[in-house]
Each structure stands twice: as C-alpha cells, then as structure tokens.
Homo-oligomer: A and B are copies of this chain.
C-alpha cells in the first residue's frame, strides 16, 4: 500500500461506466471504463462496487464519489428514478458503502459536473451560477448563495420547461420542452425533418452553418429555445455566471456566442450574467465525482 491517499471517482452512464483513481490534485492516476452491465433492464449496482474495489487495490482509498443520471436525492444518496439504468428507489449510497467499506457520496451527474465547474472550472468562485450541459438530455446544476440546489432531486429540470407551446411532444409527454429543440438528438432529427437528409449529430449541423439555410434554421431555433429557457432561469435564480457545456457546446462560440447575445438582449432589470463555455469538457463528471470523494473523506 502506497502512503499517498486517493479517492475513486465514478461516472455511471447507460452505455458505459467510467471510474478513476484520483489524487489530491484531482489528477486521474488510473482509469477504467466498462460497458454498463445489466440483469434484464436493470443495471447491476455490484459492477460499481467492483470498480471501486479494483481501483483501490494496493492504494489508500479514503473516499469515493459516484455520479448518476436520473432523479437523485443527493442528501440521501437515493436514486428515485433513472430510466436509462432501470432503477427506481435504489439506495445507492448505502449499498455501495456496504459493498466497499469506503466513505462515499452519490450525486446527480449534472450536479456533479456543476460542482466541478463551480469549484475548479468556468464558474469558479461564483456564489450564484448555473451549469447547463447539452447532451442526450438537458438538466441544470444550479448554485445559489454558494449552495447547490437539490430539492430532494427535483431541482434544475430546465430541459423540461416549455419554450415552444404546441411544439413537438417531448419524451416526458409535454409539448415544446427545451429538449425537443436543443438536446443533442434534436439537431439531427430536426434537420432530417426539414430536408429529408440524414446526418449524424449537432456537430454536422454546425459544420453546415456557412452554406446551408436549413442548418441555420435548426441552429437558430435551438439558440432561441436556449435563450428563452435561460431567461426564465435568470429571472428565477439570478445567476452571475452561466456555464454551457456538453457535446453540443463543443461546437464552441457557434452556439455560446449567439445564446449569450440573444439572452442579454432580452434582459431588463434582471441580473446580467456572464455566459461562458464549460472549462472541463468531458472531464467534468470525473472531477466532480473526485471532489465528492474528498468531501466523503472529510476533506
């Protein structure tokens, strides 16, 4: 056993589980990635425990942080519902503590990424900040007065505010949610609906912006939808910084710049937030989970 202390950071997804052994400087010393294992529809909690235990062999692991999607009660470490994992009311923290013996915190994946961006990333030092990763789905991590909002797992579901009344039906059953226009799959789907041509993803739509009016229309609708949703969020939460991340934002200023301009043009008396790209990219989940691990260790 080495003298140096480490934590394990785990990012649980429907397709793969990423786990890393992380040092006090938040550097990943060792990384494991496995396809997510299921029994029937249900992801095996045991796989997560095995990854924590395997990474810990020969190391002094003092804590672990686990990021999971769904409706997650961070305080209880309880996953109320995670459709992609087939979980309902899974007391994940208690089960993992039992199976690993490691002090451990569980948190919603977006709030975990937000913790990273607000602690060492693009929102560093802001007491009032909002992290908006645009992926397969959309949710926000919201910090107000220096504290991340949980509300037993119900806070921050900005992907399901209505920005287009009477628009397309969302997976949640409501018409015109933000996700129908600005989640990653919406870009290719909406481009195909307009043109009959199939493309892969938002990055391909972005690549066509200079030459293709249909791509521009799809992009403009997404920008407008994001500005509408963020206007609600600014009016209700009052963030000083908005950090936009996730796969779609990797298109860079093509998205963040227009969203910033459109949002700021609509503000009246509200706080005028900075609108910036995420700093940590795909690492936000791991860094946030590592920060949780150090919290669990009491540091």
Contact = CB atoms under 8 A, between A and B. Distances in A.
Contacts of A242: none
Given A235-B160, A236-B233, A71 B269 contact: yes
Contacts of A270: 154, 157, 160
A81 to B, nearest CB: 8
Number of identical protomers: 2
Interface stretch (A12-20, A141-149, A198-206, A246-254): A141-149
Contacts of A236: 140, 142, 155-158, 161, 232-233, 236-237
A238 B151 contact: yes
Nearest to A150: B145
A43 interface: no
A151 B237 contact: yes
Contacts of A155: 144, 236-238
Given A173-B268, A266-B174, A235 B152 contact: no
Interface in A214-232: 228, 231-232
Contacts of A161: 231-232, 235-236
A124 interface: no
Contacts of A71: 269
A162 interface: yes
Contacts of A150: 144-145
A67 B188 CA distance: 51
A127 B154 CA distance: 13
Contact of A160 (B140, B162, B268): B268
Interface of A: 71, 75, 81, 127-128, 140, 142, 144-145, 147, 149-158, 160-162, 172-174, 228, 231-233, 235-240, 266, 268-271
10 contacts: A144-B144, A145-B150, A151-B237, A151-B271, A152-B240, A155-B238, A157-B269, A160-B269, A161-B235, A174-B268
Given A156-B236, A157-B235, A174-B268, 15 more contacts: A71-B269, A81-B269, A144-B150, A144-B155, A145-B147, A145-B149, A149-B237, A154-B270, A155-B236, A155-B238, A157-B236, A157-B238, A161-B231, A172-B268, A232-B236
